[in-house]
Amino acid sequence: MDKIQFTEELKIGVECIDNQHGKLVDLINRLIELEAEPSNQQAEAQALEQLVSYIDEHFTFEEGVMKEVGYEDFDAHRAKHIAFVKKTMDFNKQHRNGDINLGVDILVFLSTWLIEHIQGEDPRYVEKFKAAGY
């Protein structure tokens, strides 16, 4: 599977969010690298844990700013975050328990969701964030 390229198309123009998205891309790309190597369950588990942890950190920040600036579609946006976190945590738990291997299906889900969310959902709040000085 090809790595995600963090190009201008994945930047929304809010530097702090773009930096966080870049880190999310890096974490998913690390998983893609690990999937291509001979099985290393411990490294995969650590990389998944890092991703889950950083997703939580990023979404907490983003949602905090949304509340601060009065973003009108906060509830709908947050619901998408919650569904993604749940699915990612389920993958992580199943992987830790040895029920699933890190595979292309999981990586496609993670990378596709992130790209579609950044390009489809996040641009909707950009003007509010910029107006508030972000």
**What's the CATH number where 20 sits?**
1.20.120.50
The domain of 109 spans 12-32+48-131
The token pair that represents 12 in the structure block: 């929304």
pLDDT confidence tier of residue 41, bands split at 50, 70 and 90: confident
Of 38-52, 55-69, 90-104, which one has max mean pLDDT? 55-69
Report pLDDT digits (tens) over 13-31: 999 999 999 999 999 999 9
* pLDDT above 90 for 42: no
Residue with more model confidence, 91 or 63: 63
- Examine residue 116 and state whether it is found in any structural domain, yes or no: yes
**SS3 category, 100:** coil
Tally of domains within the chain? 1
- Examine residue 39 and state whether it is found in any structural domain, yes or no: no
* pLDDT above 80 for 32: yes
- Examine residue 88 and state whether it is found in any structural domain, yes or no: yes
- Examine residue 42 and state whether it is found in any structural domain, yes or no: no
Q: Provide the CB-side half-sphere exposure for 31 (13 A, CA).
A: 29
- Examine residue 4 and state whether it is found in any structural domain, yes or no: no
- Examine residue 3 and state whether it is found in any structural domain, yes or no: no
